[in-house]
Chain A
Amino acid sequence: MSPQDIIRTSIYSLTANRLRAALALLGIVLGVCSVITLMSIGRGSTDRITELIQGLGSNLLTVIPSGEPLTLADVESLRDPLYTPSIKAVAPEIGTFGVIHINNNTTQASITGVTPEYLNVRNLDMATGTFIGAPHVESRAEIVVLGAQVSEDLFGNQDPTGAEVRINGRQFRVVGVLAAQSGFGSLDSQALIPITTAYYRLSGQRIPGGDISVDQISVQARDVELVDQAIEEIETVLRLSHRITEADDFTVFNQQEILDTFDEANQTLVVFLGAVAGISLLVGGIGIMNIMLVSVTERTREIGIRQAMGAKRRDIVAQFVTEAVFLTFGGGIIGVIVGISLATAIDGRFLIGTEWSTRVTSDIPIIALIVSIAVGLFFGIYPAVRAARLNPIEALRYE
């Protein structure tokens, strides 16, 4: 039997029961579609994490208190180049929450008290105006830099620089607006004020000794290579100034490590989702096998006639396997089209509480198609061999 004959015969058989063929196809369509979608989501979130790492800068360290509070005195110690030669900049912050309002517009925002270093350490860009300067911190100035979203909520498209807003009842002057950011850890719905203002004017907490306590200190190492060294310097300085002999009362996070962990978790999730999608493809394959087995039984007489006409076992096997592969390949193509459309449709959308980011790379449909053909081969072989093993006379007599 020539390949054209095999293909023609298989098409003839498939068109004999279109509804059944369509249902068998559906299983594969769903399987391939979920493989495509989940793989694209996996690729998309990996991309986003990579973006994030680059955005944050891989030389960023975060120190948070885990016992004694961290203070501005600690910040000063960390800034001493004598003890911390590997550190480029230190940016402390205090986080509170507040209601900002102007005239009749009100919005809630995280209010973060920061120092001028914050701008560079966190890689921020200004949309308009200026950032918080050293004199502002010195004088506990009541000025504010708005996140893009906060600015839009309060002022629409107008430039708010110079405007007066009220934060928790106190009057603040807007000196600038941050450029809009995307994705993770965005400062769009925050407002930044001088750290001293935050401490004395907005937050209620005080520590004995009159020093200013901070919630978190961001430390920028001079270079990615110097990150480990910077961690050691931070630990040495803080242990000295906190007079620690046993357990540390602070924790240093390596931003890179956090992101690596996150990336790892993400990869695990992607593999897991891929496995789930794979299972649905497998179920589709079993559906194909089921349909093919039914079809072999139903077409026993046809098989008998073909054998009586001189069909060899391999001709019968070829016919049935080709049918199964046609089904899975057809299902694969439809699945690829639907899957790519779905992945493209959800890209960048906010659904079920998350922002989805997907990326369809050219290898994804190729993998999906190869897998679907393999599924057809795998699950088509058994029914095909069963068909070929039929005894011609019994097959002919079958009613």
Chain B
Amino acid sequence: MRSTSNPDQPVIRIRDVTKIYEMGAGTIQVRALDGVSIDIHDGEYVAIMGVSGSGKSTLMNIIGCLDVPSEGTYHIDGQAVEAMSNDRLADIRSRKVGFVFQTHNLLPRLTALANVELPMMYGHWPNRRDRAENALTLVGLGDRTHHRPTELSGGQQQRVGIARALVKEPSVLLADEPTGNLDTSNTAEILNIISDLNHENGITVIVVTHERDVAARADRVITLSDGQVISDEIRVSPARGGNVRGLPRTPLRGTKGVKPTQPNFAENDSPLPPKPSPPPSRGRLSGGPR
């Protein structure tokens, strides 16, 4: 168990979160998020959908502790983010959440390896190089460790971004349109990696996407519109047919009525046994931030 001692406590607990962007010296207010309440439990695979401008990225940034809500509360692993200092937020970014950006956001002059080492550098991790190499191997880039981002294809860059997010063994993997710029085969590859992380390592995954087939991988699909949650449905994952996680739930509409409880969820709290191949040599739980 990664989070707290209480298995029923959601990893992410968002209550009435509103994000207001002020523009033109406060004359125009944009409500990017408007009273959003969501609970996400350990090990879930959630897709967030919605039209452009509906507030998906804003929500992801708040979940990833890159931004703070204007109103409402957000708890990660039971801790209130509003009360956290800048340093504490930075700590969470470097350890607890892994963020995969739509536009990679790799440092152009660093090698793939150095890019992957970056969060471990700020988190004071030991054995950075080995871990980074393992992470790159896991995403199939074991032979590209010394390439710079410009020397990699778009899909490879995205995979470096994933390696960078997963190398710190985060509780939560956030991916904001990770396949938005990729072709179908690359998309499938990336999605497989993400699914594997969820299934084998039990990492909570939240993916923003416009595409139905990307969302189809998830156990739960949350739809946003105009900054509000308009649907939140647990679905049976076709890949895993009848998984306990996929227990059908009544889709809920509106923002306030989202049912946070997930029966039986706790049973799946421990990481699933890893598949035999590819060898997941990441040494989970074998070490961590000092």
Partners in one complex: yes
B147-161 at interface with A (beta carbon < 8 Å): none
Q: How far does the alpha carbon of A306 sit from the alpha carbon of B121 in the complex, in Å? A: 10
Q: Interface 1/0s, chain B 84-127, versus A by CB < 8 A?
A: 00110011011100010100011101100000001101111000
Of residues A2, A304, A306, A314, which shows the largest number of chain B Cβ atoms within 10 Å of its Cβ? Answer: A306
Does residue A19 face the partner (Cβ distance < 8 Å to B)? no
Does the CB pair B90–A312 fall under 8 Å?
yes
Does residue A163 face the partner (Cβ distance < 8 Å to B)? no
Contacts of A315 in B (CB 8 A): 90, 122
Contacts of A23 in B (CB 8 A): none
Interface size in chain A (residues, C-beta < 8 A): 23
Does the CB pair B87–A305 fall under 8 Å?
no
The DSSP consensus for interface residues of chain A is helix
Does residue A352 face the partner (Cβ distance < 8 Å to B)? no
A286-311 at interface with B (beta carbon < 8 Å): 301-302, 304-311
- Chain B interface residues (CB < 8 Å from chain A): 61, 64, 66-67, 86-87, 90-91, 93-95, 99, 101, 105-107, 109-110, 118-119, 121-124, 164
The smallest C-beta distance from B111 to any residue of chain A, in angstroms, reads 11
Q: Which of B66, B95, B110 is within 8 Å of A308, CB to CB?
A: B66
Does the CB pair A309–B86 fall under 8 Å?
no
The smallest C-beta distance from B196 to any residue of chain A, in angstroms, reads 23
Does the CB pair B105–A310 fall under 8 Å?
no
Does residue A366 face the partner (Cβ distance < 8 Å to B)? no
Q: Interface 1/0s, chain A 378-399, versus B by CB < 8 A?
A: 0000000000000111001000
Contacts of B66 in A (CB 8 A): 307-308, 392-393, 396
Q: Which of B67, B119, B122, B124 is within 8 Å of A393, CB to CB?
A: B67
User: Given A12-B110, A392-B67, A396-B66, A308–B122 Cβ distance below 8 Å?
Assistant: no
Does the CB pair B87–A312 fall under 8 Å?
yes
User: Given A1-B122, A12-B110, A396-B105, A309–B93 Cβ distance below 8 Å?
Assistant: yes
Does residue A5 face the partner (Cβ distance < 8 Å to B)? yes
Q: Which of B61, B107, B124 is within 8 Å of A302, CB to CB?
A: B107
User: Given A393-B61, A396-B66, A309–B124 Cβ distance below 8 Å?
Assistant: no
Does residue A16 face the partner (Cβ distance < 8 Å to B)? yes
Contacts of B99 in A (CB 8 A): 308
Does the CB pair A313–B164 fall under 8 Å?
no
The smallest C-beta distance from A6 to any residue of chain B, in angstroms, reads 10
Does the CB pair A307–B93 fall under 8 Å?
yes
Task: Across the interface, name the chain B residue whose C-beta is closest to A5.
Answer: B121
